[in-house]
Amino acid sequence: MSNQAPYLLGRFIDPLFAIAVGTLSYFSYENKVGRPEGHRLSELIKKKYNRKYSSPTTASP
């Protein structure tokens, strides 16, 4: 049986730290490469959540 690997910051903080580092790395990549308007990660997330949580009464036909 092998020994468990030690945690860098903590059992629950390590995954959060990894997500934060990955997200910041991707935003840095987007700024360096230059994505087309409307296709940046932040804009796509906003579109998805606005569509998902908008009420049907406020949607225009």
Is the separation of the CB atoms in 14 and 7 below 8 Å?
Answer: yes
Tokens representing residue 46 in the block: 């906003």
* 2-59 tens-digit pLDDT: 777 787 888 889 899 999 999 899 889 888 888 888 888 888 888 888 877 776 655 5
Residue ranges per domain, the chain? Answer: 13-53
Q: How many CA atoms lie within 13 A of 56 on its CB side?
A: 0
Report the predicted TM-score, pTM, of the whole model to 2 decimal places: 0.56
Is the separation of the CB atoms in 42 and 48 below 8 Å?
Answer: no
